[in-house]
Structure formats: C-alpha cells, structure tokens
Amino acid sequence: MDSNLLWIFVSAALVNNFTLSMFLGLCPFFGVSARLDTAFRLGLANIFVLIITSLAASALNAWVLPYAPYLRLISFILVIASTVQFVEMVIKRFSPALFKALGIFLPLITTNCAILGLALFQTSREYGVIEGVAFAAGAGVGLTLALVLMAGLREEAELSTIPGIVRGTAMNLIIAGLLSLGFMGFAGLFGQAA
C-alpha cells in the first residue's frame, strides 16, 4: 500500500510529468517562467491549490456526483474557482508582500488546466482520498520542477547570442521539447512506461 502511494507520487512528478509529458498547465509554464523566483513561488501556490482541489474532488465524487453525473465538469470548475478565491483572500490577509509578488498569476490558477485535469484524472482512475492527495502532491512537485527548470534555462538564454527570429515563443518551445525528451528517460526508471 505504501509503495503504491510512492509510485503514484513519483509517477505524477517525474514519469508522467504533468507539464512536459501530459501537456497540462502550459500557459503558466510559458507565461511565468521568465524569472526563477516568481516561477518557484507560483509552483508552491499551485501545489497548495492542487491538494485542496483533490480533497474537494474526492468529496464531490463520494457525495454529489453519483446522483448527478452530468454536473461533474460544472461542479469541479466552481470548486476550483472558489478555492483559488479563498487562497487569494488568505494570502492577502496574512502576507500582503507575497500577494503583491504573485500578482495576476494568482487568480489565473483557475484557468490552469493542470488543476481541472488533476480532478478529472483522479476521478477516471478511481483514486481514494489518500491516493488523491499523493497524486496531487506529485503533480504539484512535477509542475514546480518543470517551471523552475524552464525558468533557469530561459534566464541563461537571455544572456546568450541567439538569432532574432528564434527568440521568444519558438525558442521556448524548442527548449521545452528538449526538456521533455529528458523527462522521457524517467519512463525507464520503473522498467515500464506507465
């Protein structure tokens, strides 16, 4: 049972990294990865929202959705939107400095597909409450890792000489492609591509 939880965590963080192999949460991945420290803080905020969402999705799956399956999408997105709103209010109340540093990226967590994706995958894989939290933590760590790696590489690339037409999104995409190739190596880690 414990090794199963560990497997879920590692799988979500490395082997099936949300950003680099499942293409979830690409907007912040390209939008907020220009500076290392902002990228890291956004990653932490994402981990928090992911875990809360996972708990909320478990509760919805247990008590509401058996009676009204067509409400799945709408109820998930409402839960996510209110969680983000709540996190925003808490951070604003207790740490105005952090609130200022995160700026617009805090409310934008709502439209981060990684969050809704997590709730949906958790449902389709029929994870329980604890497995769901392990999945969410792994996904969050993977997301943060990808963001930080990307931000580091982009800060380096800023200082290099690169032809004008490659600069910007085209270069970021190619960097992401190479990172993604690297992460594919983790598939061999457990002897199977899950």
Report d(CA 24, CA 163) in Å as an integer: 29
Q: Which of residues 96-135 bind another protein (CB under 8 A)?
A: 110-113, 115-117, 120-121, 124
**Dist. CA 79–CA 55, nearest whole Å:** 11
Instruction: From 33-41, 65-73, 128-136, 138-146, give the range in contact with another protein by CB under 8 A.
Output: 65-73
- Please state, in angstroms and rounded to a whole number, the distance separating the CA atoms of residues 180 and 150: 11
Considering only residues 23 to 42 of the shown chain, the ones binding another protein according to CB under 8 A are 23-27, 30
Report the C-alpha gap between 180 and 146 in whole angstroms. 9
Phi, psi of 25 (to 5 degrees): 75, 40
The minimum distance between CB 159 and another protein, in angstroms, equals: 20
Among 90, 129, 162, 166, binds another protein (CB under 8 A): 166
Residues whose CB falls within 8 Å of the CB of residue 161, separated by 6 or more in sequence, listed in order: none
What residues line the site for another protein (CB under 8 A)?
Answer: 20-27, 30, 70, 72-74, 77-78, 81, 110-113, 115-117, 120-121, 124, 164-166, 168-174, 176-178, 180-181, 184
